[in-house]
Amino acid sequence: MRTTVPLVITFIVGLIMLGEVFIPHWSYRVLTENIFEWGLILAAAAFLLGLINLIQVNLPKVLNQEPDWGYKALMLTALVVTLAAGFASGPERLASERDAVHTVVAGETVASIAKQYKMDPVALANLNSLSLAPDAVPETGLALDVVNANPTAYKWLFDFVYVPLNSTMFALLAFYIASAAFRAFRARNIEATVLLTAAVIVMLGRVPLGESISERLPQFVNWLMETPNTAARRAIFIGAALGAVATGLRIILGIERSHLGGE
């Protein structure tokens, strides 16, 4: 019973969502959209369960000072700080100093408005399609986009903590990619030789040195990337799509039960 009910629900929901491709009626689209919204709600609940599980797994290790407990303490601290900043910032938590708010300023001269918002008076007047002297006071005011100079704490954490850390991780990953490429580019067989030759040609064609060797080399590299490379990528995408379809059918038909805790 514990496995039969989830399998039946998966089968019914899977068939309904699959039918969206073949049944263009508006009432059927309403049904699938409602099911999709329920899926979003379940996904949000899964995130909440993941948060609880993260705390349950790592907090005891921090309290008992098990090996590497400092990293886990730092992770939990970052989790609490980010959640607190997100809840405190409210709906405007993603507001950035680059975001502009449209406003209309009236009752002041063009020069004073331009000085206040650090703009050129002539450019400000041209922005509003007006021919006014700097000491003139527009009757209808001047419309401009005021830049927000105070980002929220959540946005600040994202821009100045998360993004640099993410860039650092990708920068370190480049060295691992270079190491793997060095091992893969050893001409031990025909396939590795073809891979090595193509890589050298592409790298030469992307730098000024390749153009100095031959003017046709960049053109050949462009053809290589647009024709054989595109064909290979499409073949990979088709294979991945067929694999996804096969996995979906296995789940819908109850053949694949790993998501239920089975083998």
Q: What pLDDT, in 10s, does the model give residues 14-41? A: 888 888 888 888 888 899 999 989 989 9
Quick one: tokens of 7? 């399998």
Given this model, what pLDDT does residue 102 score? 44
pLDDT of residue 98 exceeding 70, the answer is no
Given this model, what pLDDT does residue 252 score? 81
Quick one: tokens of 87? 């809840």
Q: What pLDDT, in 10s, does the model give residues 144-192? A: 554 444 567 888 888 888 889 999 988 888 788 878 777 766 767 787 7
pLDDT band at 205 (very low <50, low <70, confident <90, very high): confident
Amino acid at 30: V
pLDDT of residue 97 exceeding 50, the answer is no
Given this model, what pLDDT does residue 144 score? 54
DSSP characters over 160-180: IIIHHHHHHHHHHHHHHHHHH
pTM of structure: 0.54
Placement of tokens 């514990």 in the chain: 2
Which residues face 142 on adjacent strands? Answer: 105
Largest Cα span, the chain: 82
